[in-house]
């Protein structure tokens, strides 16, 4: 957030003042556009269809009990949506959306990204911030809520499981006799990409890295448990180096998967 150079600039010349001559504004502008676009799309999409958006590849499938083949990831798992519906949750899709929303909003990488790209606090190094003030860290309301991230992680892991379960439906079809058979279409691949990138994003999380290795006292001990802990921690650490990339890939994949299913069912016509 605040930095001394940015604070000095802002006091003297206001937001965005800097002596930098490079294209420092490009990254925050691109972030603003990408995050803004996703938030607008997700909000409109959720209000457009508060119920699950599904599509089946053939008529026979739509008459089967588990008829849905492609389920928009915005509504996964469908049973949570039904629960929200049954208890009269206004716009039951939000019975699900609070999980990815809370997880992403409190993500360490996302915080840095939207503090810079949306709040301009500061937009880049050595650039005057939007509002000069004494930054108290994330120890005071509302920023203290960012500490909920480690708890959102548990729900996000469940979401990963549900997304993979939906893949199971995306790769099978039902023939006229009601038999299930292997099926692969563009939608199957699109939903697979969503589940894969979500998995990489969640399992490269800083909190999961701490969860798996943070409590370890001795990584070099011969003890079997410590060794195993070190191995899993090392694996997550390797993934963690690409966490930012996975953030963007999974965001794009979930948005595109929802868009794709909606196009198939004619929701966006
Ligand atoms: Fe980004 Fe946990 S730090 S998801």
pLDDT for res 58: 65
pLDDT digits (tens, 9 = 90+) for 105-137: 999 999 999 988 888 887 888 888 776 666 677
Ligand 1 within 6 A of 109 CB? yes
User: What is the DSSP-derived secondary structure letter of residue 31?
Assistant: H
- Pocket mutation for ligand 1, best pick of 108, 150, 242 (most atoms within 8 Å of C-beta): 108
Q: Is 172 part of a structural domain of the chain?
A: yes
**Number of structural domains in the chain:** 1
State yes or no: pLDDT of 64 exceeds 70: no
pLDDT digits (tens, 9 = 90+) for 153-208: 999 999 999 999 888 888 887 776 777 788 888 999 999 999 999 999 999 999 99
Q: Is 256 part of a structural domain of the chain?
A: yes
Q: Is 168 part of a structural domain of the chain?
A: yes
State yes or no: pLDDT of 104 exceeds 70: yes
Q: Is 237 part of a structural domain of the chain?
A: no
Q: What pTM was estimated for this model as a whole? A: 0.86
Q: Which of residues 1 and 80 earns the better pLDDT score?
A: 80
State yes or no: pLDDT of 6 exceeds 60: no
* Ligand 1 centroid to residue 148 C-alpha, Å: 11
Ligand 1 within 6 A of 107 CB? yes
Residue whose entry in the numeric block shows the structure tokens 């589940």:
195
- Residue 111 belongs to what domain range? 53-117+133-204+242-265
Range ranked top by mean pLDDT from 46-50, 80-84, 194-198: 194-198
Ligand 1 within 6 A of 206 CB? yes
Ligand 1 within 6 A of 240 CB? no
Q: At a CB cut-off of 8 Å and minimum separation 6, what does 234 contact?
A: 213
pLDDT for res 5: 47
The b-or-e profile of 225-251 (16+ CB within 10 A means b, else e) is: ebeebbeebeebeebbeebbebbbbbb
**β-bridge partners, 54:** 71
State yes or no: pLDDT of 38 exceeds 90: yes
* Banded model confidence at residue 12, pLDDT cuts 50, 70, 90: low
Q: At a CB cut-off of 8 Å and minimum separation 6, what does 262 contact?
A: 45, 49, 53, 72, 268
Distance CA 93, CA 25 (A): 36
Atom of ligand 1 nearest to the CA of 206: 3
Q: Is 233 part of a structural domain of the chain?
A: no
* Banded model confidence at residue 267, pLDDT cuts 50, 70, 90: low
Task: Determine contact, residues 6/28, Cβ cutoff 8 Å.
Answer: no
Task: Determine contact, residues 97/46, Cβ cutoff 8 Å.
Answer: yes
Q: Is 48 part of a structural domain of the chain?
A: no
Q: Is 224 part of a structural domain of the chain?
A: no
For residue 77 the two structure tokens come to: 């798992």
Q: What is the mean pLDDT of residues 204-213?
A: 90
Task: Determine contact, residues 15/38, Cβ cutoff 8 Å.
Answer: no
* Ligand 1 centroid to residue 30 C-alpha, Å: 21
Q: Is 178 part of a structural domain of the chain?
A: yes
Task: Determine contact, residues 45/262, Cβ cutoff 8 Å.
Answer: yes
């Amino acid at each position: 957030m605040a930095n001394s150079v940015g604070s000095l600039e802002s006091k003297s010349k206001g937001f965005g003042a800097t002596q930098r001559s490079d294209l420092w504004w490009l990254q925050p502008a691109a972030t603003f556009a990408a995050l803004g676009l996703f938030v607008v799309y997700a909000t409109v999409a959720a209000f457009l269809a508060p119920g699950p958006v599904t599509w089946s590849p053939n008529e026979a499938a739509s008459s089967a009990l588990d008829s849905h083949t492609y389920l928009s990831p915005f509504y996964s798992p469908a049973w949570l949506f039904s629960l929200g519906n049954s208890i009269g949750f206004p716009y039951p899709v939000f019975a699900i959306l609070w999980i990815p929303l809370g997880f992403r909003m409190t993500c360490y990488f996302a915080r840095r990204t939207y503090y810079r790209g949306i709040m301009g606090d500061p937009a880049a190094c050595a650039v005057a911030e939007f509002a000069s003030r004494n930054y108290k860290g994330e120890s005071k309301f509302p920023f203290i809520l960012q500490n909920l991230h480690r708890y959102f992680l548990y729900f996000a892991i469940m979401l990963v499981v549900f997304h993979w379960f939906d893949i199971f439906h995306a790769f099978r079809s039902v023939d006229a006799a009601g038999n299930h058979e292997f099926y692969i279409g563009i939608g199957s691949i699109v939903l697979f990409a969503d589940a894969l990138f979500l998995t990489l994003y969640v399992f490269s999380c800083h909190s999961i890295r701490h969860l798996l290795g943070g409590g370890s006292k001795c990584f070099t001990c011969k003890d079997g448990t410590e060794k195993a802990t070190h191995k899993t921690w090392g694996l997550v650490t390797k993934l963690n180096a690409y966490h930012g990339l996975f953030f963007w890939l999974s965001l794009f994949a979930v948005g595109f998967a929802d868009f794709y299913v909606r196009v198939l069912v004619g929701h966006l016509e």
